[in-house]
Chain A
Amino acid sequence: EPEVTQTPSHQVTQMGQEVILRCVPISNHLYFYWYRQILGQKVEFLVSFYNNEISEKSEIFDDQFSVERPDGSNFTLKIRSTKLEDSAMYFCARTRAGGNYEQYFGPGTRLTVT
């Protein structure tokens, strides 16, 4: 199963700055997700995106987060005003069309907020 591409692989930003993380999924994928993993901890769900709309979001996904698919291809996660505690690995995942539950993860973006 081919992976999605995530860019950048590593992003360093200062507290209070905006960051945009990008995911380039395969065209026949239906659901897209963002998860985060704070260093040494478990993977946590942020948001799922279906048919160009948010279908679910967690308590972590507050007003400083947003997602969109601006050009019908790239799937982005924006953090408006980063905080130190936003430092984590951010993974994009996707599910193929066809009703399966399997989620396939990208390689991740390491976000470091200083």
Chain B
Amino acid sequence: GENVEQHPSTLSVQEGDSAVIKCTYSDSASNYFPWYKQELGKGPQLIIDIRSNVGEKKDQRIAVTLNKTAKHFSLHITETQPEDSAVYFCAAKKNYGQNFVFGPGTRLSVLP
């Protein structure tokens, strides 16, 4: 089955700097890759996603890149702000079925 790994497990950056979180997946049949932000005590919030037919997608300060050959995808946050501090999860969905396999998460701390 699908296995998703995520690095780093924790990341601290200064406010205004960029943050990059990387995920790898094992199943080449996966075709959809969302990123979720989870704040303390809340449910995961979808922040950006990418499909396998696209290499990059950007939404304001957030971007995701996908390398299908290497089977990895990354979340890029620019001009980080303290409110970006949260746990970020990547996930992968196979091209059949609807369920997601999540990575273990990255705790991002943006220091003022």
Could you list which residues of chain A lie within 8 angstroms of chain B, going by C-beta atoms?
Answer: 1, 3, 31, 33, 41-45, 48, 50, 55-56, 58, 91, 95, 101-108
Question: What is the CB-to-nearest-CB distance from B65 to chain A, in angstroms, rounded to a whole number?
Answer: 18
| Stretch with Cβ within 8 A of A (4 or more), from B12-20, B54-62, B72-80, B96-104 | B96-104
Residues of B close to A104: CB separation below 8 A: 46
A56 and B99: CB pair below 8 A? yes
Nearest CB on A from B105, distance (A) = 6
Closest residue on chain A to residue B6 by CB atoms:
A42
What is the chain B residue whose CB lies nearest that of A44? B102
A-B CB contact pairs (8 Å), 21 listed:
A1-B46, A3-B43, A31-B98, A33-B98, A42-B89, A42-B103, A42-B105, A43-B36, A43-B44, A43-B89, A43-B91, A45-B100, A48-B99, A55-B97, A91-B44, A102-B34, A103-B98, A103-B100, A105-B36, A105-B43, A108-B43
Query: How many B residues have CB within 8 A of the partner chain?
Result: 22
Interface of B, helix, strand, loop or mixed by DSSP: strand
B45 within 8 A of A: yes
- In Å, the complex CA distance between A48 and B98 comes to 7
Query: Which of B91, B93, B98 is the one whose CB lies under 8 Å from A55?
Result: B98
Q: Select from chain A the residue with minimum beta-carbon distance to B93.
A: A101
User: How far is it, in angstroms, between the C-alpha of A106 and the C-alpha of B42 when the chains are bound?
Assistant: 8
- Contacting pair B43 A56 (CB below 8 A): no
| Pair B89/A101 contact, Cβ less than 8 Å | no
* Interchain CB contact under 8 A, A45 and B99: yes
Please, how many angstroms separate the alpha-carbon atoms of A55 and B43 in the complex? 23
